[in-house]
Amino acid sequence: MSPAIDMSAFDRATDPVVRIFSADQARQLAEHRSDAALQSRIEELAEKSNEGQLTDLEQAEYAGYVQANKFVAMLQVQARKLLASGRK
């Protein structure tokens, strides 16, 4: 299990990057969803993982998706905060 993330540290490090975004870009990030094909692949790997049936390559692929999803979700939080602050 990976260690918990200090969100105040994450916010401090990512806030300057997120502030580069226009309001439209922040809105697009906040509303971003994976395409259907990618979501299907992640669900397929998740099911195989739950059943203990992933190959080493699939495990590495799944871990990459999990990390990417966490990262995007945290950036989406930042984008929503930026939009909530009244940025237009």
Mean pLDDT by runs of 10 across the 88 residues of the chain is: 76 86 94 96 97 96 95 91 83
Radius of gyration of the chain (CA): 16
* Cut 0.75: pTM above it: yes
Residue 2 falls within a domain, yes or no? no
Query: Residue 43 falls within a domain, yes or no?
Result: yes
Query: According to the model, what pLDDT value does residue 88 have?
Result: 59
pLDDT at 2: 64
**Number of domains making up the chain:** 1
Per-residue tokens: 2: 């990976």
The confidence score (pLDDT) of residue 64 equals 97
> Looking at residue 11, what is its pLDDT?
82
Q: Are the CB atoms for 20 and 84 separated by under 8 Å?
A: no
User: Is residue 1 in a domain?
Assistant: no
Q: Which domain holds residue 19?
A: 7-84
Whether residue 72 lies inside any domain: the answer is: yes
What pLDDT, on a 0 to 100 scale, did the predictor assign at position 5?
73
